[in-house]
Amino acid sequence: MPETSKPLRADAERNRRLLLDAAADAFAEHGLEVGVAEIARRAGVGQGTVFRRFPTKEHLIAAIVVDRMHQATARGREVLTDPDPDGALFELLASMLGSQQADRSLFEAVADTFLSNEDIRAAHTELVGVLDQLLGRAQDAGAVRDDVGALDVLMMFKGVCEATRAFSSVDADIAARQLELVRAALRPVGTSERLSGRPPTLADMERAFPRAEGKASA
């Protein structure tokens, strides 16, 4: 629903797209510290237009992140019918890792903005939903330990993204290796080696990331 809040005027919609593309390119090349002026210049619009389309620079970043999360969710739905559930799960993670390595600072933004943004919240919930299904299938097949939840996996994945960020360009193998270690961590285990506590839930995340914006509860 946050996607179709208002049918923008033609030029506005066009500028929005131009800005998203220009910003994605600029961020991919130079990281998040590129100035708004530079982005506006690349998009061929006035500097003020940036803030007319996005309340803040962080919202612009968030919009790009939401795009990527939607892509990941779509990819997840694709592999959902894969005959090999274990392979499907890690193919999704590998695919996400690849797209985060192409860019610089992609999920980096997620760390800060995360659930403070309503759109990211929604996209995140969707992604967790797909991950949950993939994980459940892998667990049913006995390929993954059954005491982990989708958020456990997502957190580990996020860890890999962050830890290997600087290596993206230099050594893609290092990231792949870290992903293999995640896979190793998720192998089925005996009852004596079960994890403490319970898997984190979306409610835990809600608690950790206080809701900042959003126009009340209607």
Rounded CA-CA distance 47/41 in Å is 8
- Of 181, 212, 213, 214, which lies in the binding site for a second copy, with binding defined by CB under 8 A? 181
Check: CB of residue 154 under 8 Å from CB of residue 99. no
| 119 or 152: CB nearest a second copy | 152
Which listed option, DNA, a second copy, none, makes contact with residue 57 (CB within 5 to 8 Å by class)? DNA
Strands (E), 9-104: none
Shortest Å distance, C-beta 6 to a second copy: 31
Could you tell me the smallest distance in angstroms from the CB atom of residue 32 to a second copy? 11
Residue 55 DSSP symbol: S
What is the 8-class DSSP label of residue 54?
S
Beta-carbon contacts of 55 under 8 Å, excluding residues fewer than 6 positions away, are: none
Interaction pattern, residues 27-66, with DNA; x per rule: CB under 7 A: ------x-xxx-------xxxxxxxxx-xxxx--------
Tokens describing residue 123: 């996209």
Partner that binds at residue 22, options a second copy, DNA, none, CB closer than 5 to 8 Å by kind? none
Q: Residue 78: CB partners within 8 Å, gap ≥ 6?
A: none
CA distance 199 to 195: 9
Q: How many residues does the chain have?
A: 218
Of residues 92 through 131, those in contact with a second copy by CB under 8 A are 111, 114
Could you tell me which stretch among 19-27, 41-49, 125-133, 163-171 binds a second copy (CB under 8 A)? 163-171
The token pair at 111 is 């760390």
Contact set with DNA (CB under 7 A): 6, 8-9, 11-12, 15, 33, 35-37, 45-53, 55-58
Contact set with a second copy (CB under 8 A): 111, 114, 145, 148, 152, 155-156, 158-167, 169-171, 173-174, 176-178, 180-182, 184-187, 189, 193, 195-197, 200, 204, 207-209
